[in-house]
Structure 1
Amino acid sequence: MDRQQLADFLRTRRAAITPEGVGLPSGQRRRTPGLRRQEVAQLAGISVEYYIRLEQARGPKPSRQVLGALARALVLDHDERAHLFHLVDELPESECRTAVKEVPAAIRNLLDGLNDYPAYVMDACYDMIAWNDMAERLMGYLSALAPEQRNVLRTNFSSGDVSARLADPAVRRFLADSVSDLRASLARNPGDRKLKGLVDELLRTSPEFGEMWADHRVAPRRAQTKRVVHPEVGPLEFDCQVLDVPGTGMRLVMYVPQPDSDTAKAFRRLAQLTPATPGSPA
């Protein structure tokens, strides 16, 4: 149980809830942003003293019943509720942990069979661990990189122009969503040294990551539209589909253009370029 992370999460979520949002009067002299501690305790049906200890990172481990009550009081969505449970080493219903590290053979076969779309497999740490020929053609460097250089978050937050790129709302949204997803993954797997090491590294090296990490937002990666400019086939626009690989903690990411779009035609031209060799880390 990470008491400090739990305390920080409770405080940020409490500050984000308006009294009107939970049926309480706002009052004329309210100086506290969001709800007061006693209001959260009242809504959750727990003592004020107990809730204060939780926000001060010195309380005992909450029971599953208390966690559920806090989730309702703070109006947490599905992802935030799951994160709250993970912070105290509890699993929400219908969720399990796994120690699977290898990309399943069926997923590798699926990658090999995806000839029209760039696709790759990413683990919980955002390491690209397997990809198909179209992904190699699109990105043009995967097989040549060392494993530690194939980390999506490290390459984005460690580059010298990260501040300038964050001025692009689409890039900022992508990175903020990725950080939120990383936080949720760490809460699900608090003993994962690789995850913890990546977070510690990025907190040391990237103020931009630290700013997003301090927001305590949690949300898994979902589909979004991406726009990039390829040096050989020009502007591309495609849906970035993110599919969970059940029981592994991995995600299959596919870049899917609209049928008969300029991007679909560009992908076909890309497929005709000098053959690339699909790869994965040794």
Structure 2
Amino acid sequence: MTDNHLGEFLRARRAGLRPQDVGVVSHGVRRVSGLRREEVAVLAGVNADYYTRLEQGRERHPSAHVLDALGRALRLDADAHAHLHQLAGTVPGNQFTPTTDRVGPALRQLMDGYPGAPAFVINRTLDVLAANALAEALHSPFAPADNLARMAFLDPAGRRFYSRWNHTAEATVGHLRQAAGLDPDNPRLRDLVRALTEHSPDFTRLWNTHAVQGKTQDTKHFLHPAVGALSLTYLTLDVRDAPGQQLVVYQAEPDSPSAHALTLLGSLHATTMS
């Protein structure tokens, strides 16, 4: 990771767009993948030299208006657009608040009060800070179940456990990219990215796309060695009294095979722990 976070992001997103994606007519042999800098500048209505300086890190204070124009030119979705502003420090009223990894007793009690739903707390770098019994049972194939990114990319169980591994991998990297926009100098994030980059070519490839994704809600598909296939939806909630922490809760469709499998998994885990 370098300190030119804004420039790297712009360059990666430019490289990921083809001329036909944005209605640009291409002539001759192109020496770059994706759009040229000049093409992005024209689409955004900014000076080409100014845009070049943004990518190279020689200009680091673009206005919110310029960033909005670049976001439209690069076809950024809502998460990526917000990330762009975070990197440039132009989010209105944004004051970064460091997170804490301590999970309060009230939140732990809340998670334990829903024994039929796997629930766990993560921080911005996807460390698992606390989990209820069913979440521990769900993630039991991992040793340890300590960090969602490490589990997906470096643990041998990851590719078997996540039935749609490619989808999970892309989402996981997108979450870490969002964290990098919020707290680029976080030493834990730097160490995690370094380890993942050194040991996982798949992570490195996805990390270099600079794709950003917020963790909100989605459907996850698992293959658990004890109970088989599970299809669970999850909802992510921000913990207001601990900025940076998120509560993740999984649910199965009522009376579905996944719901019955979750019930069985809970029973097996309780028997094992007793």
TM-score relative to the length of structure 2: 0.83
Change (3 A) 1:4 1:277: farther
Work out the CA distance in 2 between the residues paired with 1:277 and 1:160: 23
For 1:150, the equivalent position in structure 2 comes to 146
- Higher relative contact order at CA 8 Å, sep ≥6: structure 1 or structure 2? 1
CA distance in 2, matches of 1:34, 1:156: 29
Give the equivalent residue in structure 1 for 2:175.
181
CA RMSD after TM alignment: 3.1
- Unaligned stretches of 5+ in structure 1? none
Q: Is the 8 A contact 1:239 1:256 kept in 2?
A: yes
Q: Does 1:7 align with 2:2?
A: no
Q: How far apart, CA to CA, are the structure 1 residues paired with 2:34 and 2:226?
A: 51
Find the aligned partners of 2:247 and 2:209 in 1 and give their Cα distance. 27
Cα distance change, pair 269–35 in 1 and its aligned pair in 2 (3 A): closer
Equivalent residue, structure 2, for 1:234: 228
Deviations 1:71-98 (A, max 9, x none): 233232211111112223x152465532
Q: After superposition, what is the alpha-carbon deviation per residue over 1:229-266, rounded to whole angstroms, capped at 9, x for unaligned?
A: 33433332222333333462222222211101122122
Structure 1 residues 183 and 154, CA, compared in 2 at 3 Å: closer, same or farther? same
1:129-174 deviations in Å (ceiling 9; x for gaps)? 11112222333478x84xxx61121233223577xx39x8711110
**8 Å CA contact retained: 2:141, 2:225:** no
Q: Matched residues in 2 for 1:71 and 1:81: separation?
A: 6
Deviates more, 1:68-77 or 1:31-40: 31-40
Alignment size in residue pairs = 269
The answer as to 2:35 corresponding to 1:70 is no
Q: With structure 1 as the length reference, what TM-score do the two structures score?
A: 0.81
Question: How big is each residue's C-alpha offset from its partner over 1:172-207, in whole Å with a ceiling of 9 and x where there is no partner?
Answer: 110111011101101111221111221122112222
Q: Does 1:172 align with 2:175?
A: no
The secondary structure found in structure 2 opposite 1:134 is: helix
Identity over the aligned pairs, expressed in percent?
A: 38
- The answer on whether the counterparts of 1:3 and 1:58 sit within 8 Å (CA) in structure 2 is no
Shift in CA distance, 75/262, structure 1 to aligned 2, threshold 3 Å: closer
- CA 235–65 in structure 1, closer or farther in 2 if over 3 Å, else same: closer
Aligned match of 2:58: 58
Structure 2 partner of 1:107: 107
Unaligned runs of 5+ in 2: none
